[in-house]
Amino acid sequence: NGKRVQWLHGSDGEVWVWIMGDSPGDKPYELISEELMAERARQQAQKEAEELWKQKEAEITKKFRDAMAKEKAKIVAEKWKIETEDRKAAKLMEEKIQEELKKREEEERQRGEEQIRQQEELRAKELYLSLKQAQQHSQHNEHEDQEWKEQLRRSKAADEERSHKARMARDEYRRQSLRAIEKGKVAGLSNLFKGASLNKEMEIKINSNNPSSVMMLTAPASKAWERPSRPISREIIVRWFKEEQLPRRAGFERNTSAVAPWFHGIISRQEAEELLMNMSEGAFLVRVSEKIWGYALSYRQLSGFKHFLVDASGDFYSFLGVDPNRHATLTDLIDFHKEEIITSSGGELLLEPCGQRKHPPDYSLLFE
């Protein structure tokens, strides 16, 4: 098998043989055994110590890991506490800023309110002076104010009545319209008179103590007319009548140049009632209103008087709040209600015109 043993030879040529303990310097067997046992004991102790250290190290690791976790939790809790305090501080700061902004806003609001109050006081003074001037022109029209309020009240009552009787109102309106067409009182027939010029001389028969008297009227040349929102003085009303109503032949009888017997000038409600006082039911007159751009129709009934406002601010004539019909001229409106009632509740028919009681007539100012 190729293996062999080679023996060592001594100086004498013989195979060298060593006997433990016989040579100088050899340790005794007992000592060698002791050393071997000591080495084995050391190695075993080292092994056991390593095992013990592993256990100890695991315990130490666990102990400090737990301690670290506790410290970490403590740190987190402390940090949360600090953050909470920071949030509280931030909230306090925010509240302080908001309070400061609210304070500044309130100061700004107070300054704005003070400015508005001063402007309001100034505007109130201006309006007061304006109203005072208007009042000085119309102090004699207190009764007309009552007429205005009464007319508005009746208008509201009439609106409520129509809302409850809508079908009746529509049927009545249709019947009245057909009746007007049958009688040839369509508004278009009156448009023939709209072309009358103020620059042309007009002959007006005055319904007075001298029925045959004649007034020659020539419309004065004037600057461009701009109508105010409402009447503010008699002068303005007279100019409105001359500028807008004369060309439409307001107050004239149909197809003639004579003033209608029912037409009156700028007279008050009380004056109208005095004129109608001794007349029978159905008597009426039309007077120029000082409250609206239009007229007031004063009517005699058994128990007293009624006053209806006639709107003439547009291109037609109609009662305010009591009658939906529109008429091209004031005469059309009067003639229509000589045969058709004004309201279904009152049954008013215009039967007898109330003429003039004095000379010159109360409308003379309108035709000067």
Using one digit for the tens of pLDDT, what is the confidence trace for 222-281?
457 788 888 889 999 999 999 999 999 999 999 888 999 999 999 999 999 999 999 999
What pLDDT shows up at residue 22? 65
The CATH architecture that domain 234-366 belongs to is 2-Layer Sandwich (3.30)
Q: What is the pLDDT of residues 338-347, one digit of tens each?
A: 999 998 888 8
Distance CA 198, CA 247 (A): 6
Return the domain boundaries, the chain: 29-165, 234-366
**Distance set, CA 349 to CA 80, 258, 302 (Å):** 94, 23, 13
Question: What is the CB neighbour count within 10 angstroms for residue 85?
Answer: 10
Contact 283, 351 (CB under 8 A): yes
Per-residue pLDDT, averaged over 88-115, amounts to 80
